[in-house]
Amino acid sequence: MAKFLFLMIGLSGQPNAGDAQTQAYNQKWGAYMASLAQRGALESGAPLEQRAKAVTSSSVGDVPLATPDIYGYMVVNTDSLDDAIAIAREAPHIALGGSTIVRPCIDVPR
């Protein structure tokens, strides 16, 4: 089983929004994440806040976010890059014009 980092690109999510359209979209995300968990593919994931910091050895600064930008991540375990791509295509934001960067992780012995 290989590990993949998914970086979701699109508009930031509104998990606490009250309008019906956003609630329906959030329910799609809940179902998607639940299906990945049931398959044993989802290791972790979360939406990201609309703020970021760039950290170097000598400074910390605000990062201006773009529209669209990376608004969430997931760590997914699956058999191959092709399987990871298929899982990424199922994400609800894809239907709205979003995209996902899929990065294979390097297995580091412990």
Place of tokens 């690109």: 9
Element (H, E) at 40: none
| 55: phi then psi, degrees, rounded to nearest 5 | -120, 125
pLDDT per position as a tens digit, 22-33: 888 889 999 999
One of 1.20.120.1770, 3.40.50.300, 3.30.70.1060, 3.30.2350.10 is the CATH number of 2-52+63-104, namely 3.30.70.1060
3-state secondary structure of 96: helix
- Predicted structure pTM score: 0.89
pLDDT per position as a tens digit, 67-93: 889 999 999 999 999 999 999 999 999
Angstrom distance (rounded) from CA 62 to CA 97: 27
**pLDDT over threshold 90, residue 15:** no
pLDDT per position as a tens digit, 92-110: 999 889 999 999 999 988 8
